[in-house]
Structure 1
Amino acid sequence: MVKTDAFQSHLKSLAAASAFHPLYVFSGDEPLLMMESIDLLRSKARQLGYTEREVMLQERGFDWSALLNAGQTMSLFGDRRWIELRIPTGKPGRDGADALKQFSAQIASQSNADGPETIFCIVLPRLDMKTKSSAWFSSLDEAGMAVQIDSLDRGHLPSWIAGRLQKQGQSIQSGPAGQRALEFIAEQVEGNLIAAHQEIQKLGLLYPAGELSEEQVRSAILKVARYNVFELSEAMLAGDLPRVNRMLDGLKGEGEPLVLILWSITEELRLLSKLKMASDSGESVQQLLRANRVWGNKERLYPAALKRVQSSQLRQAVQIAAGLDRQSKGLQAAELPGDPWDGLRLVGNLLR
């Protein structure tokens, strides 16, 4: 089993399909780091022709033969495939353990000088030593590459935040004031990397590239509107137009940046469109929600929105959002109201 540094080195070596392992196993309890590592690998695979994707979720009653069959069947369209198996508990059970050992042997027996026809990715939570030494996990580790994604130590969080800001062209002022600003962000997110990631994105939306002062950081992080931007997206998903209009009035009155609101709404529209296309093709909505990491209130709101909103309405809402994006950058969007806030009301009306 390798750590993140070795996995990053492996990623850099993936210049051809022949460099891929047929199997990757990811284990960890930090969702953001897990998601980003898997996405980096999948992006490399997609660039080299692994364009067909399938996601399996192991839950009660899971048919393990589906995994075994997937390793033996060819793509219907002749494309190379990427198949994910998510085991949320990290405990496959007796039948699952036997199936995984059989699957590992199946993978090990296959050899292709041009690279595997199918790349398998198994996603597990953080594993204890007993599980790591189990026969089923050891067989997976031997058949491919097992990667352990460790959590970030709290003491390293400020430097991690600084590195993320640098990737989006921003930096914190040097000296004690800058260190205080980084520590302040770390304290506010309480070690939650997804929350830290969202705050970093917010800073990128609110301020241009360049150096950020401690005052700018504190102002952005502390600004919690009475009408929350993310609650607005939930109101839109619920189709509650009166609440959407009240929240837009409140957000506008409080001076909440339009670009931040538009980013949040656009992300929801993109995901809703993606899920709509997949569900209309007969895929399981619950599996789609889990595969796209939809949790909490939205796990209830998305299925209702998928039933309520037509594909044509979604396409129109996405077009309006694109026009609002042009408006926010000072460009013309003749088909939209002059006030972008009224354009957001049109989006809300289409989702009711």
Structure 2
Amino acid sequence: MKIQPSRLEESLKKPHPRLIWLSGDEPLQLQEAADLVRRHARQQGIEEREVHDVSAQFQWKKLLESTASLSLFGGNKLLEIRLGSSKPGKEGGEVIQQLCRQSAQSGDLLLFTSDKLDASQSRSAWYKTVEDQGMVVQIWPVETSRLPGWITERSRAMGLTLDPEATSLLAEKVEGNLLAASQEIEKLKLFVQPGEVLDAQRLLSLIEDASRFSLFDLADACLAGQADRALRILRGLQAEGTEAPLLLWAVTREIRQTATLLHRLNEGLPFDSLCQQLRIWDKRRPLYRQASQRISLQQVHQLLQLAQRCDQAIKGSGEPAAELLLDLVYRFST
């Protein structure tokens, strides 16, 4: 069945197919729709998430094996298949049709994401099967004439109020890029007082103030377990053009330091003595104490593995580096 993006959340609250296909060329809306499905999966008790990035060398049979294997946690899995601009081809189409047929009896949730499907794909047998037995959501870009309205709604949802001139100015600044608009709103939120109405002049001054955030602010927010703040700072730094390797270095440095601290604490060494040995400044020790109490050794090893994947993605492995970096910061700060 085909549904509008605005009805996805409502549709997930009702009995729905176990295969969901999200497609479109607008990255922010596609990402948020996928986040909605992931959140729904967690609410349904699905703890394990398995991601498959499709490339020209992708082995579709391994996807069938994944659906047949048991979850490590003894429950169901969320399987994400990210096609991007890749096309399934003959083998992929056959596997997708088989997954559609199996999905009705499976407890697993399958989430496909792709760029906008072209006419030939929309006429294919595999797509007709997906549309018939799964849930299909086509995401369209926001038209230029509707962008100020989108910014107004987005700002209001985040507790911000922009006057019409400020809204038009922001719409002009982002040039139709919803991700850039969202990142600017995220940054503005950090500086605005409740009830404040932003005019154009105040908007410009705040955009300049937002650039004052540093890599140290990002590291401190991660250590303190302030996930919302950490993600806002990360998106702000990304919007300002901070290079991904530098962002990864700042976060990974703190993860490694936390890993060393946890290993030594596990050996029974006192916290303050360890901080002295590791040259952790007095004012940052409360942050490391919070992190060491929140994160386990197993989790910190998983974070280091994720950081390695992120590094490989930045160097061209094919995985989405920006998304992996967001995931790394989120996991480190929760």
User: 2 CA distance for matches of 1:9 and 1:186?
Assistant: 29
The amino acid of 1:29's aligned partner reads D
Following the alignment from structure 2 to structure 1, what is the Cα–Cα distance between the partners of residues 113 and 30?
Answer: 9
Decide whether aligned partners of structure 1 residues 58 and 303 sit closer, same or farther in structure 2, where only a CA change above 3 A counts: farther
- The aligned counterpart of 1:67 is 63
Structure-2 change in CA distance of 1:160 and 1:303 (3 Å): closer
Counterpart residue identity of residue 10, structure 2 = S
2:282 corresponds to which residue?
335
Structure 2 CA distance for aligned equivalents of residues 94 and 7 of structure 1: 29
Q: Is the 8 A contact 1:71 1:107 kept in 2?
A: no
Question: How far apart, in 1, do the equivalents of 2:224 and 2:40 lie?
Answer: 26
- Paired with 2:258 and 2:174, the residues of 1 have a C-alpha distance of 33
Specify the alignment match of 2:138 in structure 1. Answer: 148
Aligned-pair CA distance for 1:218: 2.4
Find the counterpart in structure 2 of residue 8 from structure 1: 9
Q: Which residue of 2 aligns with 1:122?
A: 112
Q: Secondary structure at 1:207's aligned position in 2?
A: coil
1:53 corresponds to: 49
Map of 1:191 onto structure 2:
176
2:207 counterpart residue number = 221
Alpha-carbon contact 2:77-2:108 (below 8 Å) kept:
yes
After superposition, residues 1-352 of structure 1 pair within 5 angstroms as: 1-11=2-12, 13-14=13-14, 19-108=15-104, 110=105, 116-172=106-162, 178-214=163-199, 215-221=201-207, 229=213, 233=215, 262-263=217-218, 266=221, 309=253, 311-314=255-258, 335-336=282-283
Q: CA deviation at 1:135?
A: 1.1
Cα distance per residue 1:205-230 (max 9 Å; x no partner): 011221323122122235585xx75x
Q: Deviations over 1:249-269 (max 9, x none)?
A: xxxxxxxxxxxx725874699
Structure 1: runs of 5+ lacking an equivalent: 111-115, 173-177, 234-260, 271-292, 318-333, 341-352
Partner AA of 2:203 in structure 1: V
1:183 Cα deviation after fit: 0.4
Task: State the secondary structure of the residue aligned to 2:97.
Answer: helix
Q: Return the alpha-carbon distance in structure 1 between the equivalents of residues 161 and 250 of structure 2.
A: 40
Displacement of 1:102: 2.4
| Distance (whole Å) between structure 2 residues aligned to residue 268 and residue 336 of structure 1 | 13
Partner of 2:111, secondary structure, is strand
Q: Distance in 1 between matches of 2:59 and 2:51?
A: 13
| Inter-partner Cα distance in structure 2 for 1:264 and 1:201 | 18
How far 1:21 moved relative to its partner?
A: 2.0
Deviation at 1:303, TM superposition (A): 7.8
Q: Distance in 1 between matches of 2:260 and 2:203?
A: 36
Q: Count matched residues.
A: 252
Residue type of the alignment partner of 2:41: A
**C-alpha deviations, 1:261-292, integer Å up to 9, x for none?**
7258746998xxxxxxxxxxxxxxxxxxxxxx
Q: Which runs of 5+ in 2 are unaligned?
A: 226-237, 262-280, 288-334
Q: Normalization by structure 1: what TM-score?
A: 0.62
Deviation at 1:123, TM superposition (A): 0.6
Structure 1 position 314, deviation (Å): 4.3
CA RMSD for the aligned pairs? 3.4
Say if 1:268 and 1:313 are closer, same or farther in 2 by CA, change over 3 A. closer
Distance in 2 (CA, whole Å) between partners of 1:158 and 1:305 is 35
CA–CA separation in structure 2 for the residues paired with 1:94 and 1:138? 14
TM-score (norm 2): 0.66
CA separation of 1:202 and 1:268: change in aligned 2, threshold 3 A:
farther
Per-residue CA shift, 1:191-215, capped at 9, x if unaligned? 1111101110111001122132312
1:53-86 deviation line (CA, Å, top 9, x unaligned): 1101111321111211222222132122111000
Deviation at 1:39, TM superposition (A): 0.7
> Partners of 1:159 and 1:51 in 2: how far apart?
37
Distance across 2 between alignment mates of 1:45 and 1:167: 24
Distance 2:136 2:60 in 1: 20
Query: Residue 268 and residue 91 in structure 1: after superposition, are their counterparts in 2 closer, same or farther (change >3 A)?
Result: farther
Instruction: Sort the Cα spacing of 1:199 and 1:309 in 2 relative to 1 into closer, same or farther, 3 A.
Output: closer
User: Structure 1's 302 and 314: CA in aligned 2 closer, same or farther, altered over 3 A?
Assistant: farther
Cα 1:297–1:138 change in 2 (3 A) is: farther
